[in-house]
Amino acid sequence: MTTFRFESRPSLLSMATVAGPDEAKGPLGEKFDQVVPDLWVGQKSWEQAEQELLARAGQTLLVKENLTAADVDLMVGGDLLDQLVTTHFASRTLDIPTFGMFSACATLTASLAVAAMAVDAGYGQKVLVTVASHHHAAERQYRYPVELGIQKPATAQWTATGAAAFLIGKGGPVVVREATPGRVVDYGVKDPFDMGGAMAPAARDTLLRHLQDTGRTVKDYDAIFTGDLAAVGSTLFRDLLKEEGVQVEGIHHDCGLILYDRSSQKAVQAGGSGAACSGLVTAAHIIPGLLSGEWRRVLLLATGALHSPTTYRQGESIPCIAHGVVLERAEAP
Amino acid sequence: MTTFRFESRPSLLSMATVAGPDEAKGPLGEKFDQVVPDLWVGQKSWEQAEQELLARAGQTLLVKENLTAADVDLMVGGDLLDQLVTTHFASRTLDIPTFGMFSACATLTASLAVAAMAVDAGYGQKVLVTVASHHHAAERQYRYPVELGIQKPATAQWTATGAAAFLIGKGGPVVVREATPGRVVDYGVKDPFDMGGAMAPAARDTLLRHLQDTGRTVKDYDAIFTGDLAAVGSTLFRDLLKEEGVQVEGIHHDCGLILYDRSSQKAVQAGGSGAACSGLVTAAHIIPGLLSGEWRRVLLLATGALHSPTTYRQGESIPCIAHGVVLERAEAP
């Protein structure tokens, strides 16, 4: 039994997003709090630009809620860059005690789970959850500098540029009901241009364990969102589940397929990815759908690929993970 | 108020350590569960060697307690390598749901805090906390490959080779009483060969906030252990506290000065560091001291430097962090 059920009903009090120019052109473009016109964000390096995105998301949330840093007990979050420099450098500005988490693109749900635990264990404190990623910073670190113009196969995904911040506490309209931490699953995929395919088995593993732990079926969810399996991984995820007799067609959506319009934004290839991908979609699409009554209970299964450039060059496969979090409208039973 | 007090008394059920050859030659050499004769640990790369250390520490703990992976609900931990590959690759073998944490050498106390929260929120589950580091893997990633023979200044510290695993649950003899997450503190130090000096202000910040939150003075602790400030950072830490009117002479110890015998192990220069440093010292020295009755209440303040090789090359300073955890003998009031 590895699913944590949060009895004290930790919930979402507020959120804020800052999105890059490509994300602004996608279907959710109108729904972000702030959009930056270019990838520099007024900074001198991609790394500083990513920090600026995150600092702005955090500050936007504090301003929205009329809070100062001293009102927030803890910041939990992560990013894709080595040593989580985005999170930690931005945290200097935000000045909130910080736990850095790394599950690659699954960092959002790991952080939401820890925030919910902190609120559950700490009796009502306010915890800020943050994620960020930056297309150019991630490409240079993980693959090639974008300036080289290396062609990518159709299975490749587009690392989202943006940052999202969520404030978890007590009494908000969307409850973090349960969390199912993921196991590391490795199917031997070695291609860093096929993250969706590598991650799909991890998403399956966490979904099946979650259903077993909770005694539910997929029909008990109005929607199941994977983090960023994108086109290739989403198909594989549904096929893998079919083999287990679990049918998610119509219920399953993928954040990597929601953030961009693949028909007009062809550069994103198979779809979006990056720690900010599920962050932006959760804030601009999933939470609004829960608030509007479109859904009452959703399962968010952010997915992450856990290789490093070093392990890739050493010929290692790509271990993956998916952490699940159940979000419910506060009045749901 | 950023100190979490764990009312359900999460506690240490078991622990296990695997140490490298230099650590075995230090004062705690006899107290590790397992010692490896060389830095390869039977593997082909330093990265694989580090994974093997961690997998062995986890397996040793499970065997000691006659547990299988299925008995453990969650693994929380981290290491120094990019994308936490040590933790995540080892987790494939251990097969326990995993939250990767990164606070550099302060990862132990961040992970202990999250484990305590998980037990507190989850009503008695078993959570495995792990940390690992490897001298050669860390040096190559952060500074230079050891094989280059680059000379280091006397302020440099020695990244420990080893891994430590701790099982947190209910009913054990040492209680995780409180946790004070650290803020990111940056005094503008840019020298990656002076980590202790960079980290000392972060340790001061967390200690002062912890005392304010708990209403205690340093005299309420039998011992205060910093993670790995080593010789330079420890002196600075005590001097910085003196400026605040806080006297920790005689109470303050540093894991980086306990792990090695600097008089005979001159290569360690100012002392030990690395995520495994505070892990090995906690398991082989601090917990045994609590169990034997030498101390009743200790504050463990692991310290971490949060730069990356990229930010260093970009001329950025080194932000640092220290997370505090209070450990008490179970019968303490």
* Final residue before a domain boundary, out of B109, B144, B170: B170
For residues A138 and A159, the answer to whether their CB atoms sit within 8 Å is: yes
Closest CA to B210 of B234, B172, B180, B250: B180
Stretch B264-289: mean pLDDT: 97
Residue B129: CB partners within 8 Å, gap ≥ 6?
A: B75, B76, B77, B108, B111, B112, B115, B165, B166, B167, B168
Stretch A267-274: mean pLDDT: 95
Output b/e per residue, A262-300; b: 16+ Cβ within 10 A. beebeebbbbbbbbbbbbbbbbbbbbebbeeeebbbbbb
Stretch A300-308: mean pLDDT: 96
Of A5, A308, A321, Cβ closest to residue B85? A308
For residues B310 and A85, the answer to whether their CB atoms sit within 8 Å is: yes
Strands B252-254 and B223-226: parallel
| Domain match, B273 and B313 both | yes
**pLDDT band with cut points at 50, 70 and 90 for residue A1:** low
pTM: 0.97
Residue A263: CB partners within 8 Å, gap ≥ 6?
A: none
For residues A276 and A86, the answer to whether their CB atoms sit within 8 Å is: no
Which domain covers residue A18, as residue numbers? 4-170
| Domain match, B82 and B212 both | no
Distance, in Å, from the CA atom of A315 to the CA atom of B39, rounded to the nearest integer, reads 21
DSSP B73-126: -EEEEEESSGGGHHHHHHHHHHT--EEEB-BTBTHHHHHHHHHHHHHHHHTS--
> Which chain A residue's Cα is nearest to B97?
A183
Angle at A172 between CA B213 and CA A304, to 5 degrees: 85
- Residue B99 to residue A114, Cβ atoms within 8 A: yes
d(CA B320, nearest CA chain A) in Å = 9
User: What is the 8-class DSSP label of residue B282?
Assistant: I
Q: What percent of chain B has pLDDT over 90?
A: 92
Q: Taking 50 as the threshold, does the pLDDT of residue B11 lie above it? A: yes
pLDDT of residue B2: 85
- Residue B2 to residue A319, Cβ atoms within 8 A: no
pLDDT of residue B1: 64
- At residue B253, the 3 state secondary structure works out as strand
pLDDT of residue B76: 98
Stretch A200-225: mean pLDDT: 98
pLDDT of residue A192: 84
pLDDT of residue B333: 47
> Which chain A residue's Cα is nearest to B124?
A4
For residues A22 and A134, the answer to whether their CB atoms sit within 8 Å is: no
| Domain match, B156 and B197 both | no
For residues B228 and B274, the answer to whether their CB atoms sit within 8 Å is: yes
Stretch B232-241: mean pLDDT: 97
| Domain match, A232 and A117 both | no
d(CA B117, nearest CA chain A) in Å = 6
Distance, in Å, from the CA atom of A80 to the CA atom of A135, rounded to the nearest integer, reads 10
C-alpha A199, offset from chain centre: 14
Where do the DSSP E strands lie in chain B?
4-5, 10-19, 34-35, 74-79, 98-100, 127-133, 158-159, 162-170, 174-180, 223-226, 252-254, 272-273, 297-305, 320-329
- Residue A122 to residue B98, Cβ atoms within 8 A: no
Distance, in Å, from the CA atom of B277 to the CA atom of B295, rounded to the nearest integer, reads 20
**pLDDT band with cut points at 50, 70 and 90 for residue B82:** very high
What are residue A191's phi and psi, to 5 degrees?
-95, 110
Q: Taking 60 as the threshold, does the pLDDT of residue B77 lie above it? A: yes
pLDDT of residue B122: 76
Distance, in Å, from the CA atom of B8 to the CA atom of B172, rounded to the nearest integer, reads 12
Q: Taking 90 as the threshold, does the pLDDT of residue A123 lie above it? A: no
DSSP B50-84: HHHHHHHHHHHHHHHTT--GGG--EEEEEESSGGG
What residues of B are in contact with residue A6 (Cβ under 8 Å)?
Answer: 121
Where is A159: in which H helix or E strand? strand A158-159
| Domain match, A77 and A160 both | yes
| Domain match, B216 and B246 both | yes
Stretch A169-173: mean pLDDT: 95
Stretch A64-72: mean pLDDT: 96
Q: Taking 90 as the threshold, does the pLDDT of residue A333 lie above it? A: no
| Domain match, A162 and A277 both | no
For residues B126 and B92, the answer to whether their CB atoms sit within 8 Å is: no
| Domain match, B42 and B163 both | yes
What are residue A314's phi and psi, to 5 degrees?
-85, 5
Q: What percent of chain A has pLDDT over 90?
A: 91
Strands B297-305 and B223-226: parallel
* Final residue before a domain boundary, out of A122, A141, A170: A170
Of B95, B306, B314, Cβ closest to residue A83? B306
Distance, in Å, from the CA atom of A275 to the CA atom of A303, rounded to the nearest integer, reads 9
ipTM of the complex, rounded to two decimals: 0.97
Structural domain total, chain A:
2
Of B2, B118, B319, Cβ closest to residue A92? B319
| Domain match, A219 and A133 both | no
Distance, in Å, from the CA atom of A38 to the CA atom of A192, rounded to the nearest integer, reads 26
Q: Taking 70 as the threshold, does the pLDDT of residue A204 lie above it? A: yes
d(CA B25, nearest CA chain A) in Å = 30
Task: Give chain A's mean pLDDT.
Answer: 95
Encode pLDDT of B280-317 as tens digits.
Answer: 999 999 999 999 999 999 999 999 999 999 999 999 99
Distance, in Å, from the CA atom of A91 to the CA atom of A302, rounded to the nearest integer, reads 23
- Residue B181 to residue A97, Cβ atoms within 8 A: yes
Structure tokens at A125: 């404190």
Where is A87: in which H helix or E strand? helix A85-94
| Domain match, B134 and B246 both | no
Q: Taking 90 as the threshold, does the pLDDT of residue A331 lie above it? A: no
What residues of B are in contact with residue A181 (Cβ under 8 Å)?
Answer: 74, 97-99
Residue B105's Cβ-count burial label (10 Å; 0-12, 13-18, 19+) is: buried
Which is more confident, B67 or A150? Answer: B67
A279: domain CATH number is 3.40.47.40
Stretch B108-131: mean pLDDT: 92
| Domain match, A100 and A187 both | no
C-alpha A231, offset from chain centre: 17
Residue A144: CB partners within 8 Å, gap ≥ 6?
A: A150
* Final residue before a domain boundary, out of B170, B199, B215: B170
Stretch B173-182: mean pLDDT: 97
| Domain match, A146 and A274 both | no
